[in-house]
């Protein structure tokens, strides 16, 4: 076999992916029996890896890399890829390490165009659409099954001792066109399971559907390995470094071993109650019954969910919630058997003795060390930060062949240094390079960065690190390049929770459109999309959480903040009023209310934070009680009714005639809720208070 350092600098290769099916249960069983992972590595992984490398050597395959229990290899001849795959499966069928239970490995093959990744003048990896397609073909296969695309079959008309079963066309995740799929068979080899079309079982925010994760293979491999050994694993890192993308990419590899569920905490904030945290987990896990009442009920529901198959729970943006309450919930969940938790957070959760933390660092920036332009260009092209920049410049501006030139090398290096290697900052820069020169971009970004260093921004009481300032500088640059109407709309839509439709923006802010210099809201949203500040997937607009927070900060400093908030409040006030107007309206709008609930929470928080809106807050909270009761949203219902009770009591002391009826309604609704939650004592006290108020009103 050719040495790995001598990977071919070819544009067309046959790519092979392999993966052990059910590796987690095997590892868990051996770990339980022996108390460590030595036996798994010795009896399973060692023989498996040795067999695959022997087969690659025999058939001139290139051992490119391993990711956990998976191999990626490439071949210059598709016939050699086919023979290698067959020999691997044959070798496992007669596995002397465990003749009664041979390993089940699946294999996928595809021939196509690859883009070599060059480092220090040598090929170290391959990227491109056809690499992704090969991985998707492997994902269709069952244990002991070899699947190949029509592209491989088309280059091998006949092959001695082998035949091909045609399974027809299949839809693959992230691949636009359908792909012809064949299965490799030989004498005595039984036909495998019929490959199914792609069905998304791991559901995560649609903005990550086609997110390129460049330069993170080693980190993802590390996360996968650690998940096997730790009940709670946290990916830590600064905002914009790509924690969520890396976590999602990791989970895509683990669908054979776990049911994977995504829980997004960015819809909550650090003032959220324990009940809201529990409710959000129950909602995103699609748990029913009593699961959202409290931690005990949630843990029991998850325990039942894990009874048939292990669950991997991805808790995203953990830093959004209260640290003490969040830690209490997470600590309780770690006691659930067959449940593992992968969290993303700016800092560790802090569950001592259980949690494992992995820091996701920004990319390093290239440094040619004064060796000249040619050396600088070569160093740039071999760096992950440049590869990400190049990929997004090509994506945004249709420059399929764009690469850094000698003239621009110093300026591109300066830009990458200013971004501090933060992926989101690099993407923001790339989105602006259709109308800017690299020299101007470097000068503007550097000036913005230096200005912020002089102003010495403060982060949680401490001077901000340069990496944070780099992220803000890139956000500022992208924002300042917008037209004034687009900036105004960006500040306004920051009031929404994540995921909103164009019609919703027009409904809320249509009255402000006369100030948009004649630009339609649709056009302004597209301008924000072009700047990479928002994305549009599956009919909805969305922010990355760090961009969302940036928009909120801008709104808080906006002189016209009250005008924007008034438009937002008016829309949602009418929305709830319409919902509450009659039983018929309530039934009709129930699903719509559920769909827009995240935005309604933002609306309630806005009312609560402004004393002038407290009257509306009491009325709206009472109106939503019925909806929360139907949907069993215990956490939201308890938090807002309890808050409304405090406000109504205070106001009733000063203006009894106006507020006693409203106070009675809140007492009654909260009493019903407490009764449903099993707090009979609290319910009795509030029922008694409501009855006493009714007597006072009648008297």
CATH of the domain at 528: 1.10.10.10
Residue 392 main-chain phi, psi, to 5 deg:
-80, -30
Residue 468 lies in a domain: yes
What is the spatial distance between Cα 137 and Cα 157, in angstroms, rounded to a whole number?
Answer: 20
Pair 463, 493 in one domain: no
Q: What's residue 453's pLDDT? A: 65
Q: Are 88 and 171 in a shared domain?
A: yes
Q: Say what the pLDDT of residue 525 is.
A: 93
In degrees rounded to 5, what are phi and psi of residue 420?
A: 60, 25
Give the bridge partners for 127, in sequence order.
115
Confidence at residue 111, expressed as pLDDT on a 0 to 100 scale: 96
Q: Residue 279: is its pLDDT beyond 50?
A: yes
472 shares its domain with 488: no
Say how far apart CA 436 and CA 604 lie, in whole Å: 42
Q: Are 546 and 423 in contact (CB under 8 A)?
A: no
Portion of the chain with pLDDT greater than 70, in percent: 94
* Residue 615 sits in the same domain as residue 680: yes
642 domain-assigned: yes
pLDDT at 105 over 90: yes
What are the tens digits of pLDDT across the range 53-91? 999 999 999 999 888 788 999 999 999 999 999 999 998
Statement: residue 454 has pLDDT above 70: no
Query: pLDDT tens digits for 417-444?
Result: 999 999 999 999 998 888 789 999 999 8
Residues 386-391, mean pLDDT to the nearest whole number: 91
pLDDT for 300: 94
| CB atoms near residue 646 (< 10 Å) | 10
Q: 520 and 471 share a domain?
A: no
Q: Would you state the pLDDT for residue 71?
A: 93
CA 31/CA 2 separation, integer angstroms = 36
Same domain for 524 and 591, yes or no, is no
Count: domains in the chain: 5
Q: Taking each helix axis from N to C terminus, what angle separates 656-676 and 614-631, rounded to the nearest 10 degrees?
A: 20
End-to-end CA distance of the chain: 96
Q: Is the pLDDT of residue 398 over 80?
A: no
Whether residue 132 is found in the same domain as residue 150 = yes
User: Is a pLDDT exceeding 50 seen at residue 344?
Assistant: yes
- One DSSP character per residue, 197-247 reads PP---S---GGGTT----S-HHHHHHHHHHHTT-SEEEEE--TTS-HHHHH
Determine the structural domain holding residue 513 and report its residue range.
482-558
Give mean pLDDT, residues 13-34: 82
More confident residue, 313 or 257: 313
Q: Is 530 domain-assigned?
A: yes
Q: Do residues 471 and 489 share a domain? A: no
pLDDT at 576 over 90: no
- DSSP code of 611? G
Judge whether 329 and 281 are in contact, CB under 8 Å. Answer: yes
- Residue 202, CA distances (Å) to 267, 285, 302, 414, 521 in order: 19, 11, 17, 39, 33
SS3 content of the chain, % helix, strand, coil (to 5): 55, 15, 30
User: How many angstroms separate the CA atoms of 144 and 354, rounded?
Assistant: 36
Q: Please say which residue of 186, 217, 250 terminates a domain.
A: 186
Say what the pLDDT of residue 45 is: 84
CATH assignment of the domain containing 614: 1.25.40.10
**Beta-carbon neighbour count of residue 217 at 10 Å?**
15
Q: Is the pLDDT of residue 516 over 60?
A: no
Last residue of a domain, one of 186, 215, 230: 186
Which of 238-242, 398-402, 549-553 bottoms out in mean pLDDT, i.e. has the lowest?
398-402
Q: Between residues 605 and 371, which one has the greater pLDDT?
A: 605
199 located within any domain:
no
CATH number for the domain that contains residue 65: 3.30.70.1230
The larger pLDDT score, comparing residue 263 to residue 446, is at 263
Domain boundary residue among 359, 384, 405?
359
Residues 6+ apart with CB under 8 A from 636: 275, 276, 279, 601, 628
347 inside domain: yes
pLDDT of residue 461: 56
Residues 105 and 245 in one domain: no
- pTM value? 0.79
**Span 613-668, pLDDT tens digits:** 999 999 999 989 888 988 889 999 999 999 999 999 999 999 999 999 999 999 99
Q: Could you tell me the pLDDT band of residue 499, with boundaries at 50, 70 and 90?
A: confident
Return the beta strands (E) in 55-178 as ranges: 62-67, 70-75, 105-113, 115-119, 122-127, 146-149, 162-170
Task: At 570, give phi and psi (nearest 5°).
Answer: -60, -45
Cβ count within 10 A of residue 191: 10
**In b/e form, how buried is each residue of 139-171, taking b as 16+ CB within 10 angstroms?**
bbbebbbbbbbbbbbeebeebeebebeebeebe
Band (pLDDT 50/70/90 cuts) for residue 458 is low
Residue 43 forms beta bridges with which residues? none
Q: Classify residue 565: in a domain, yes or no.
A: no
Over the Cα atoms of the chain, what is R_g?
A: 29
Split at pLDDT 50, 70, 90, the class of 605 is: very high
* Span 173-196, pLDDT tens digits: 778 788 999 999 998 899 998 888
Look at residue 688 and tell me whether its pLDDT is greater than 80: yes
Q: Which pLDDT value is given to residue 122?
A: 84
Q: Is 315 helix (H, G, I), strand (E, B) or coil?
A: strand
Across the range 12-24, mean pLDDT stands at: 89
How far apart are alpha carbons 19 and 101 in whole angstroms?
17
Which of helix, strand or coil describes residue 436? Answer: coil
The reply to whether 152 and 293 lie within a common domain is: no
Within-domain flag for 504: yes
Statement to judge: residues 498 and 640 lie in one domain:
no
Other CB atoms within 10 Å distance of the CB of residue 90: 14
Looking at the fold, whether 234 and 321 belong to one and the same domain comes out as: yes
Looking at residue 100, its pLDDT comes to 64
User: Cα 515 to the chain's mean position, in Å?
Assistant: 35
* Average predicted confidence (pLDDT) for the chain: 88
Inside any domain, residue 191: no
**Which of 165-174, 260-269, 514-523 is the least confident region?**
514-523
């Amino acid at each position: 076999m050719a040495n790995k350092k001598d990977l071919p600098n070819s544009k067309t290769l046959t790519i092979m992916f392999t993966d052990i099916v059910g590796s987690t249960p095997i590892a868990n069983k051996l770990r339980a029996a022996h108390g460590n992972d030595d036996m798994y590595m010795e009896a399973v992984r060692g023989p498996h890896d040795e067999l695959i490398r022997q087969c690659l050597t025999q058939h001139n395959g290139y051992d490119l890399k391993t990711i956990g229990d998976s191999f990626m290899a490439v071949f210059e001849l598709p016939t050699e890829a086919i023979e290698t795959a067959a020999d691997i499966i044959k070798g496992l069928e007669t596995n002397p390490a465990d003749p009664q239970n041979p390993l089940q490995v699946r294999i996928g093959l595809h021939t196509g165009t690859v883009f070599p990744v060059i480092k220090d003048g040598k090929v170290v990896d391959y990227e491109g659409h056809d690499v992704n397609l090969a991985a998707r073909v492997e994902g269709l296969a069952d244990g002991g099954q070899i699947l190949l695309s029509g592209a491989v079959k088309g280059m091998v008309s006949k092959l001695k001792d082998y035949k091909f079963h045609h399974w027809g066309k299949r839809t693959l995740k992230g691949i636009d066109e359908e792909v012809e799929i064949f299965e490799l068979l030989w004498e005595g080899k039984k036909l495998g399971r019929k490959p199914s079309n792609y069905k998304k079982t791991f559901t995560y925010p649609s903005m990550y559907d086609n997110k390129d994760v460049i330069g993170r293979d080693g980190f993802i491999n590390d996360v996968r390995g650690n998940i096997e050994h730790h009940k709670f694993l946290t990916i830590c890192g600064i905002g914009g470094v790509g924690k969520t993308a890396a976590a999602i990419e990791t989970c895509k590899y683990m669908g054979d071993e776990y049911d994977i569920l995504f829980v997004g905490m960015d819809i909550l904030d650090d003032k959220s109650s324990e009940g809201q945290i529990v409710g959000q987990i129950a909602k995103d896990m699609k748990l029913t019954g009593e699961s959202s009442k409290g931690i005990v009920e949630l843990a029991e529901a998850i325990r039942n969910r894990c009874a048939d198959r292990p669950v991997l729970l991805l808790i995203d943006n953990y830093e959004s919630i209260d640290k003490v309450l969040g830690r209490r919930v997470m600590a309780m969940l770690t006691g659930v058997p067959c449940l593992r938790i992968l969290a993303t957070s700016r800092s560790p959760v802090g569950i001592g003795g259980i949690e494992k933390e992995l820091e996701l660092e920004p990319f390093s920036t290239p440094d040619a060390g004064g060796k000249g332009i040619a050396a600088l260009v070569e160093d740039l092209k071999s760096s992950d930060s440049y590869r990400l920049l190049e990929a997004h410049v090509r994506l945004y501006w249709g420059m399929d062949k764009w690469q850094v030139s000698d003239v621009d090398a110093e300026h591109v290096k300066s830009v990458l240094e200013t971004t501090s290697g933060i992926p989101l900052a690099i993407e923001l820069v790339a989105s602006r390079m259709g109308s800017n020169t690299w020299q101007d971009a470097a000068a503007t970004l550097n000036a913005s960065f230096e200005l912020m260093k002089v102003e010495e921004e403060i982060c949680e009481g401490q001077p901000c690190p340069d990496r944070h300032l780099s992220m803000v500088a890139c956000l500022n640059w992208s924002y300042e390049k917008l037209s004034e109407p687009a900036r105004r709309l960006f500040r306004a839509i920051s009031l929404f929770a994540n995921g909103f439709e164009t019609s919703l923006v027009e409904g809320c802010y249509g009255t402000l459109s006369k100030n948009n210099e004649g630009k339609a809201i649709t056009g302004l949203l597209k301008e924000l999309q072009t700047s990479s500040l928002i994305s549009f997937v599956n009919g909805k607009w969305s922010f990355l959480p760090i961009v969302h927070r940036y928009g909120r900060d801008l709104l808080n400093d906006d002189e016209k903040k009250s005008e924007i908030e008034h438009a937002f409040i008016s829309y949602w006030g009418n929305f709830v009023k319409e919902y509450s107007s009659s039983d018929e309206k309530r039934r009709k709008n129930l699903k719509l209310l559920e769909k827009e609930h995240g935005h309604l929470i933002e609306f309630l928080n806005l009312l609560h934070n402004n004393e002038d809106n407290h009257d509306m807050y009491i009325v709206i909270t009472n109106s939503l009680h019925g909806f929360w009761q139907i949907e069993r949203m215990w956490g939201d219902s308890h938090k807002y009714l309890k808050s409304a009770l405090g406000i109504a009591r205070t106001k009733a002391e000063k203006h009894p005639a106006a507020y006693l009826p409203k106070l009675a309604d809140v007492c009654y609704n909260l009493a019903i809720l407490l009764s449903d939650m099993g707090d009979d004592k609290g319910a009795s006290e509030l029922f008694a208070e409501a009855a006493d108020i009714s007597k006072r009103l009648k008297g």
